[in-house]
């Protein structure tokens, strides 16, 4: 599959002025690490269908008072999983039980970090992290590394030159693959592999969704399942367009902020890390971002 890169719905936004807080406090990266990953309880995806009270816009998100939060890790090396995420943040351990108690997945500064990386085809190891505007060459082996600051369900979708959207994660060819992700744990897409850049020249779109409430993306999940079953459907594209429209609104209203950090600021942080974080004064249980991958 040919695979390319340039940001496509990302607008670099100037910091908001919240009271007397200095601008540095409002950066997506700063708020990404301020989020406390404790008590991540998630509803299950199976049979999760939105009810009549499903949130339809940002105005229905829950207000959160400004409370002190324990900073997250400064950014562990994505390929080093020996330490693992902080205790109590594994998704499997924190998924909401069927106790009848309502899940409360909204958090203040839900965020996602991603990197575009070149991979050595022989060793399958990361060679380097590259700029999100990097122009890839034929033969390059590419992967995407993603890390959320809270646990959730991750979707990575790609639109090729044909215009058809496909799911990269979860992988349609691996029906048992779970798309549950843990706070501070890096995920590589494709898992355990890479994309090799092939002709013809062009660019493709990638769209990433992180949600803590699967009811928000029930239609998307169903459209992926139907596509996997071989039934042609326009539902996937329709759902992506809907979610993408909501993401653009959040960027324009500055509820969502994007920062690209060219040079690492802490040990383990890769160069050209892109942070996408909710910077609104209300809680959020979902965020999404799109970018383009360009190749010669």
Instruction: Give per-residue pLDDT as tens, 24-52.
Output: 444 899 999 998 766 566 777 655 566 54
Tell me the range of 79-88, 142-151, 230-239 where mean pLDDT is highest. Answer: 142-151
- For the cut 50, the answer to whether the pLDDT of residue 221 exceeds it is yes
Which is it for the CA torsion 119, 125, 130, 133, positive or negative?
positive
Which whole number is the average pLDDT over 202-219? 90
Residue with tokens 């990386």: 117
What is residue 291's predicted lDDT score, i.e. its pLDDT? 94
Confidence (pLDDT) at 1: 55
As given in the structure block, the two tokens for residue 234 are 């326009």
- Examine the pLDDT at 4 and tell me if it is beyond 80: no
Distance (Å, whole) CA 56 – CA 7:
26
Kindly list the domain boundaries of the chain, sorted by start residue: 5-45+104-295
Asked if residue 280 has pLDDT above 70, the reply is yes
């Amino acid at each position: 599959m040919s695979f390319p890169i340039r940001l496509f719905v990302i607008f670099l936004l100037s910091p908001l002025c919240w009271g007397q807080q200095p601008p540095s406090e409002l950066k997506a990266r700063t708020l990404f690490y301020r989020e406390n990953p404790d008590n991540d309880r998630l509803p299950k995806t199976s049979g999760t269908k939105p009810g009549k009270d499903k949130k339809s816009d940002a105005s229905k998100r829950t207000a959160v008072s400004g409370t002190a939060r324990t900073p997250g890790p400064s950014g562990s090396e994505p390929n080093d999983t020996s330490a693992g995420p902080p205790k109590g943040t594994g998704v499997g351990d924190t998924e909401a039980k069927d106790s009848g108690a309502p899940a409360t997945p909204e958090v203040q500064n839900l965020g996602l970090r991603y990197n575009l990386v070149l991979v050595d085809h022989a060793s399958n190891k990361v060679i380097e992290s590259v700029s999100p505007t990097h122009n890839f060459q034929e033969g390059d082996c590419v992967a995407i590394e993603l890390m959320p600051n809270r646990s959730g369900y991750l979707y990575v979708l790609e639109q090729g030159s044909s215009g058809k959207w496909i799911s990269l994660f979860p992988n349609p060819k691996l029906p048992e693959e779970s798309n549950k992700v843990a706070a501070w744990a890096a995920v590589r897409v494709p898992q355990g592999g890479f994309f090799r850049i092939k002709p013809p020249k062009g660019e493709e779109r990638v769209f990433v969704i992180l949600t803590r409430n699967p009811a928000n993306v029930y239609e998307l999940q169903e459209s992926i399942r139907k596509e996997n079953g071989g039934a042609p459907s326009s539902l996937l594209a329709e759902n992506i367009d809907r979610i993408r429209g909501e993401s653009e609104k959040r960027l324009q209203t500055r509820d969502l902020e994007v920062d690209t950090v060219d040079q690492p600021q802490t040990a383990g942080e890769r160069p050209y890390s892109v942070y996408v974080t909710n910077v609104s004064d209300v809680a959020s249980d979902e965020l999404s971002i799109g970018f383009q991958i360009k190749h010669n």
